[in-house]
A and B are shown apart, each in its own frame.
Chain A
Amino acid sequence: MLEKIRAELPELSISEVSYPERGYHLAMDAGREQILKVVGFFDKNGFYLEDLFCVDYVEYLELVYFFNNHCGLFRVKTVVRLEPDKPTAPTISDIYAIAHWYEREIHEFFGVYFENHPNLAYLFLHDGLDSYPLRKGTVKVPEEDRKLLGSGAYKESEDTFFVNLGPQHPSTHGVLRVVIKMDGEYILSAEPMLGYLHRMHEKMAENRNYAQFLPNPGRMDYLSALNFNLAYVETVEKISGIIVPERAQYIRTITCELNRISSHLLWLGAFLADLGGLTPFLYAFDDRENILDILEGVTGSRLTYSYFRFGGLFNDVDEKFADGTRAFLERMWKRLDIYDQLITKNVIFINRTKGVGILERDMVRKFGCSGPVIRGSGVPFDMRKLEPYAAYQHTDFEIPVAQNGDILDRYMIRVKEIETSLRIIGSALEKLPAGPFNAEKVPKKLKPPKGDVYHTVESPRGQLGVYLVSDGSETPHRMRWRVPSYSNLMTFPFLAQGVLIADAVAILGSLDLVIPEIDR
């Protein structure tokens, strides 16, 4: 691949980077003029846009593009330097659909203008904000830009009308608002409006030291708090070079998988409640409470865990935890049969979901989807296998993949993932080694060396990436979260075109969205 890049893009300065230390393979420096060519090259070669964001280095702004490959891991970081006052860059939203939202986000948080972008309206922020939040100094929002604030207004034409789905709607699972343009019974277009739960996590990361930020990731995605906690902790460990003992790695794997099951169970209940069946909700919560009992015993919390520490864990697990987990595994296998009879074989459920909301294989690449959404479309893309972290390389498991990409497939994938998780927990519990659960000599106040690092884990919703820039001080210079629901939600406007509103609710449910994760 490297030779091909060198041959086709000879004018760029390309440097190879140590992957275990930095988390990416290549770093490329592109100019404003060349970026379109670079992006076109990656698109032609089947790469997907993993992340696009901006970093403010005071003297200059840096646009960072991460490209990756679904089949084999090959992560390329491409940067474009911009002038700090009136920065402009060409848009790539016509090449990669997901860039449409990423660019809007950069525009409102950094004030970067994207030439030829179809709609630079604000996505997250409220009216009445007068400076760009993520810029280092105070940079005022110019008057013409302020008009874009709160630009959720819409125009009705003769034969159409608008329906507001949310922010207070039982099937949006939080405070998501979707403005749906209807023609009679059918949806003409749907536009999600974000930012009703924007809690400034990325800004907070720049305001406090590494240990103080520990509780935040758990609140970003409260359904899989441990996975988010793990992503953050492992990123900081990677940049500071802390080595985690093996026992801690195994316990991290077990607890994360337990958390994944509880997240999938909640999704199962809520999704079927969207479709009109309330019974599975009660069943799923019953099982979920069992997991919460186990996790509460070791983490001390029911929902927003922050159990992992830099270099290990908060405390060790005991026999009670192991016994409880084993008992749960035994129970859950039996319960899966009940779910099978209750849901999977239900004719009404199958008729509602089969062939609805089909995501094509090429589409998931353009949108940068991940998790069960992409695996439902036939791409075996799982960070646990592709880029193993914690103790996943020591456990034996297979990634379930479905072919059709409809709602039923996404459901089947998640149910099979519960089985996968049960297997992982089982084998990790058997192999659980003795020894210390914390690395020695981890300073209370971490001061990682200068540099940047990228790290990904597989959250229940998909690929979760953390990009961290350290300037050698106690606080991070910039922390960027690449969240899975964001890119998965981006597919909704395309899936919802031309379907009934009841189907749109089913599609929205099948994407498994967690709104605070999207809004950050």
Chain B
Amino acid sequence: MGKRSFYLETKDPIIKFAMLEKVLDLARANSLWPLQFGLACCAIEMMSTAMARFDMDRFGAGIFRSTPRQADLMIVSGTVTKKMAPLLVTLYEQMPSPKWVLAMGNCAISGGPFVYEGQYNVVEGVDLLVPVDVYVPGCPPRPEGLLEGLMKLEEKITGTRRFPTPEKRW
């Protein structure tokens, strides 16, 4: 992958309150409001995750906002094309800090199955456009995968994991 350039970088605040930050982080991690922004196939799995069986609301992340101004997590669920790229960056810039990006599925990670020599329309990874915090591979990932991605993000925000890591069976 080529040179990565970010349009916007979050700067550290000048004054920091360590204890308060920790409390705030805990609150943030437990109420991640995702942006209602479906791109392709993965969006259907994202919807499944939000519905009754997998119930993202258990982790406080089920309130999908239609406007980026109320959201703090962008789940990039699908292929980003070159026509869509500037709009995606606009959406990201409209989100208030602190904000996180979760790249869901192979297309958002690297262009996935649509990358071949001479391709003309697919952005090969959303991390070329915006900084990505968590990658969830799969084509499309299962809802459990997306939930695990959310756990990882919570871990990244608070520094501790909500549940113990599941036992490895394979």
A binds B: yes
Interface residues of A (CB under 8 A from B): 125-126, 128-129, 133, 167-170, 173-175, 195-200, 203-204, 207-208, 215-216, 219, 222-223, 266, 281-282, 285-286, 288-289, 292, 302-304, 516
CA of A133 to CA of B43, assembled, Å: 28
Q: Is the Cβ of B120 less than 8 Å from the Cβ of A223?
A: no
Q: Is the Cβ of B113 less than 8 Å from the Cβ of A222?
A: no
CA of A292 to CA of B142, assembled, Å: 12
Q: Is the Cβ of B47 less than 8 Å from the Cβ of A207?
A: no
Q: A170-B66, A304-B140 are in contact. Are A286 and B52 (CB under 8 A)?
A: yes
Flag whether B11 is at the interface (Cβ < 8 A): no
Flag whether B70 is at the interface (Cβ < 8 A): no
Q: Is the Cβ of B41 less than 8 Å from the Cβ of A222?
A: yes
Interface residues of B (CB under 8 A from A): 35-41, 43-45, 47-48, 51-53, 66, 68, 78-79, 81-84, 87, 91, 113-114, 116, 118-122, 139-140, 142
Q: For A167, give the chain B residue with the smallest CB separation.
A: B87
- Report whether over half of chain B's contact residues are helix, strand or loop; otherwise say mixed: loop
> In angstroms, how far is the closest chain A Cβ from the Cβ of B86?
9
Q: Which B residues lie within 8 Å of A168 (CB)?
A: 35, 37, 68, 87, 91
Chain A to chain B contacts (Cβ below 8 Å), 19 pairs: A126-B82, A168-B91, A196-B81, A196-B83, A197-B39, A197-B79, A197-B84, A198-B121, A199-B40, A199-B121, A200-B114, A200-B122, A219-B40, A222-B44, A222-B140, A285-B47, A286-B51, A289-B48, A302-B45
Q: A174-B43, A304-B139 are in contact. Are A282 and B82 (CB under 8 A)?
A: no
CA of A168 to CA of B83, assembled, Å: 13
Q: Is the Cβ of B81 less than 8 Å from the Cβ of A303?
A: no
Q: Which B residues lie within 8 Å of A288 (CB)?
A: 48
Neighbour of A174 across the interface among B36, B39, B119, CB < 8 A:
B39
Most buried by B among A125, A128, A195, A303: A303
Q: Is the Cβ of A200 less than 8 Å from the Cβ of B120?
A: yes
CA of A248 to CA of B39, assembled, Å: 34
> In angstroms, how far is the closest chain B Cβ from the Cβ of A194?
9
Q: Is the Cβ of B140 less than 8 Å from the Cβ of A281?
A: no
Q: A198-B121, A304-B140 are in contact. Are A281 and B51 (CB under 8 A)?
A: yes
> In angstroms, how far is the closest chain B Cβ from the Cβ of A510?
19
A sample of 16 more A-B contacts (CB under 8 A), given A216-B113, A266-B44, A304-B139, is A125-B83, A175-B84, A196-B84, A196-B87, A197-B39, A197-B40, A198-B121, A199-B122, A200-B122, A203-B119, A282-B52, A286-B53, A288-B48, A303-B44, A303-B45, A304-B140
Most buried by A among B44, B53, B142: B44
Q: Which A residues lie within 8 Å of B79 (CB)?
A: 197, 199
CA of A219 to CA of B120, assembled, Å: 18
> In angstroms, how far is the closest chain A Cβ from the Cβ of B100?
18
Q: Is the Cβ of B44 less than 8 Å from the Cβ of A223?
A: yes
Q: Which A residues lie within 8 Å of B84 (CB)?
A: 167, 175, 196-197
CA of A70 to CA of B21, assembled, Å: 67
Most buried by B among A199, A204, A216: A199
Q: Which B residues lie within 8 Å of A208 (CB)?
A: 116
Q: A125-B83, A168-B91 are in contact. Are A285 and B41 (CB under 8 A)?
A: no
CA of A516 to CA of B47, assembled, Å: 17
Q: A281-B51, A303-B140 are in contact. Are A200 and B121 (CB under 8 A)?
A: yes
Q: For A128, give the chain B residue with the smallest CB separation.
A: B82
Q: Which B residues lie within 8 Å of A204 (CB)?
A: 114, 116
CA of A125 to CA of B38, assembled, Å: 20
CA of A497 to CA of B132, assembled, Å: 42
Neighbour of B121 across the interface among A126, A170, A281, A304, CB < 8 A:
A126
> In angstroms, how far is the closest chain B Cβ from the Cβ of A4?
44
> In angstroms, how far is the closest chain B Cβ from the Cβ of A149?
10
Q: A207-B116, A286-B53, A303-B45 are in contact. Are A199 and B81 (CB under 8 A)?
A: yes
Q: A170-B66, A174-B38, A175-B39 are in contact. Are A195 and B139 (CB under 8 A)?
A: no
Q: Is the Cβ of B113 less than 8 Å from the Cβ of A200?
A: no
Q: For A199, give the chain B residue with the smallest CB separation.
A: B114
Neighbour of A303 across the interface among B41, B82, B114, B119, CB < 8 A:
B41
CA of A289 to CA of B121, assembled, Å: 33
> In angstroms, how far is the closest chain B Cβ from the Cβ of A127?
8
Q: For A284, give the chain B residue with the smallest CB separation.
A: B51
Q: For A198, give the chain B residue with the smallest CB separation.
A: B121
Q: For B87, give the chain A residue with the smallest CB separation.
A: A167
Q: A126-B82, A196-B81, A216-B113 are in contact. Are A304 and B120 (CB under 8 A)?
A: no
Q: Which A residues lie within 8 Å of B118 (CB)?
A: 207
CA of A208 to CA of B68, assembled, Å: 39
CA of A133 to CA of B35, assembled, Å: 33
CA of A126 to CA of B48, assembled, Å: 31
Q: Is the Cβ of A170 less than 8 Å from the Cβ of B41?
A: no
Q: Which A residues lie within 8 Å of B45 (CB)?
A: 302-303
Q: Which A residues lie within 8 Å of B83 (CB)?
A: 125-126, 195-196, 198
Most buried by A among B40, B47, B139: B40
CA of A22 to CA of B118, assembled, Å: 32
Neighbour of A285 across the interface among B37, B48, B87, B91, CB < 8 A:
B48
Q: Which B residues lie within 8 Å of A196 (CB)?
A: 81, 83-84, 87
